[in-house]
Amino acid sequence: MIIEVSAITPGIGAEITGLDISQPLDKDTIARLRELFLRHLVLVFRDQVLSREDHKQFARHFAELHVHPSHRSGLNKGGDPEIFVIDTPADAKQSNGEAWHSDVSCEAVPPMASLLYVTKVPDNGGGDTMFANMYEAFSELSNDLKTLLMGKTAFHDGEIDLRNYGIRLAAGQQYPQASHPIIARHPDTGRPLLFVNGSFTSHIEDIPRWESDMLLSGLYDFVATNARLQCRVKWTPNTLVMWDNRCVQHQAIRDYAGFARYGERVSILDGKPPEAAQH
Ligand code: SIN
């Protein structure tokens, strides 16, 4: 098998061809994919016909499977706990992940990666996903701001995200919350990255709330409005996209009201909580 790689932008994203990921993959191929994953952060595999088990098996090559807290908390009853369904019917009022975020950063150990397999794309041609490189987001900050943020932690609260979907926890139900470094060190590359996002981060700890709000909203605007950090993936049916959830944020573009889109996501865990980058 000859893997071909075509970068989407110099900083983030690559289309991978020449590989049928439903087939058993040897050690060298997995090692090459790991290398590409760490280099490009977002890998796009098109024209893949995958059963749920194929999807999970491909993900298991990289790490163990994560169970989404909506399953653990009992909010999401039934279904396969290792599959997070992203189903947007034509008449849906809202879809999943419309704001910039990294997946469930409220977990004490957030997933290292997510692998979303989209089988139904909207008939109006919409439903793309944006991805942003959080190494670059950090690197573009001024030295003064880097120094201010280094060593600080932020509180991530899953209920913020639930509220965005109008979901309230019932008495006795629990959802994850965690404190993470704002500037984290990637466990595999050692590079510093910005680790706060508007869907899960509640506040920067140990500073006044208004200062936290000011800093976080500035950082979110910087990520959302800085095209240099970003790439955009246009889905075609049967595409799997794998992204590094430690150093990438993403946003699902809801420009397809009146049309259906369907995908299933598997996330994986390396078991390593985000660690603070050192000065
Ligand atoms: C998500 O994983 O947050 C949703 C991404 C998408 O549907 O494109």
Give the predicted TM-score (pTM) of the model.
Answer: 0.97
Q: Tell me which residue has its CA closest to atom 4 in ligand 1.
A: 97
Residue 20 falls inside a structural domain: yes
Question: What's the CA-to-centroid distance between 75 and ligand 1, angstroms?
Answer: 19
Residue 275 lies in a domain: no
Per-residue pLDDT tens for 111-144? 999 999 999 999 999 999 999 999 999 999 999 9
93 within a domain of the structure (yes/no)? yes
Residue nearest to atom 7 of ligand 1 (CA): 252
Predicted confidence band of residue 28 (pLDDT cuts 50, 70, 90): very high
Residue 71 has pLDDT above 70, yes or no: yes
Q: What is the pLDDT of residue 1?
A: 67
Euclidean distance between CA atoms 254 and 257, whole angstroms: 7
What is the residue-averaged pLDDT of the chain? Answer: 96
3 state SS of 172:
coil
Ligand 1: centre distance to CA 198 (Å):
15
43 pLDDT above the threshold of 90: yes
| Identity of the amino acid at 227 | A
The answer to the question of residue 182 being in a domain is yes
DSSP labels, 112-144: SEEEEEEEE--TTS---EEEEEHHHHHHTS-HH
| pLDDT > 70: percent of the chain | 100
Residue 264 bridge partners (DSSP): 85, 117
CB of 265 within 6 A of ligand 1: the answer is yes
Q: Are 134 and 244 in contact (CB under 8 A)?
A: no
pLDDT bracket for residue 75 (50, 70, 90): confident
pLDDT digits (tens, 9 = 90+) for 206-248: 999 999 999 999 999 999 999 999 999 999 999 999 999 999 9
- State the residue range of the domain holding 246: 4-270
Q: Given pLDDT bands bounded at 50, 70 and 90, which one contains residue 110? A: very high
Question: Which CATH number belongs to the domain containing residue 54 in this structure?
Answer: 3.60.130.10
- Residue-level pLDDT at 141: 98
- Closest residue by Cα to atom 1, ligand 1, is 97
pLDDT tens figures, 143-170: 999 999 999 999 999 999 999 999 999 8
In this prediction, what percent of the chain has a pLDDT beyond 90? 94
Residue with tokens 């004490």: 108
Assess if residue 226 is contained within a domain: yes
- For the chain, what is the domain count? 1
Q: Could you tell me if residue 255 is inside a domain?
A: yes
Residue 279 falls inside a structural domain: no
Q: How far is the CA of 19 from the centre of ligand 1 (A)?
A: 23
Query: Quick check: is 138 in a domain?
Result: yes
Dihedral sign for Cα atoms in the order 5, 85, 133, 124: positive
- For the stretch 181-193, pLDDT in tens is 999 999 999 999 9
